[in-house]
Amino acid sequence: MALEQQSRKFRVQITSSDNKLSNSEIDVVMDVSDVITIGSEIRMKTRKFKKKYLKLIDDAQKIMPQQQATYKNKESKKRSKKSVKINASVYWNLGDLFRKFNDNVENEFEIINYGAALQRDFGLTMRYVQELIIFASLFEKKEINDFIPMAIYRALVWKKNQLEEINELENEKIKLLEKGKKKIFIGRENYKKELQFVVNRKVNQETMLCCKCKSAQIDDFKKFGPWMCNSCKLEVTK
């Protein structure tokens, strides 16, 4: 029972309220059932989580001050919408920041409104933050080349699972880094097609479809041109 009590997560909600200066203040609310369970520890645990979350916001501001952590001043909504080019290394630092925060709190806290809090306090969707975390996990900091646009890195992140399944992820990562070193321009749409071609080629090498009945057969050997299964061959030769 003691072990079960130790391992359970405490549910928290990150809230925001306006103060007299028309700024927003972040607060953390614990779930009622957890308040009853942990009793006098509630204040300590609330402060512990709030401190970590506020540090996340402050650190994100230092990394991307023009876009992140806009909660402090509502007038920021009137800021210029002119786009600013941000290097991939900046996004890597942001992804690494979220990765470390998640690793630090995930075993102890469950943020029940995390998606809404990210949108409000950072202007980022949960999906985008997850992509940044994958990006920071897939590449080491020293591997990031700012010649390669973030859009290209994201294209690789989107195909990560498919490339892993066919054991091509590491190869594609190496090829991308080599292109960056040689300063070879890569268009996003062309790169997406290139990655899809790698996936399709691998699948087609392993799965042959009968040109007549369209049934599939796994084959270790490359075949060129139309292929027909044995049943259809017998039917045709009758």
Contact 18, 55 (CB under 8 A): no
Which of 61, 66, 180, 55 has the alpha carbon at shortest distance from 105?
55
pLDDT of the residue at 25: 86
**In 10 A of CB 44, how many CB atoms?**
10
Q: What is the pTM of this model?
A: 0.74
| DSSP secondary structure code for residue 78 in this structure | G
pLDDT of the residue at 70: 43
pLDDT of the residue at 221: 44
Mean pLDDT by 10 residues, the chain (238 residues): 54 79 73 60 83 95 64 45 77 97 91 94 95 97 96 97 94 96 93 93 67 58 58 68
Contact 186, 145 (CB under 8 A): no
DSSP 28-62: EEE-HHHHHHHGGGHHHHHHHHHHHHHHHHHHHHH
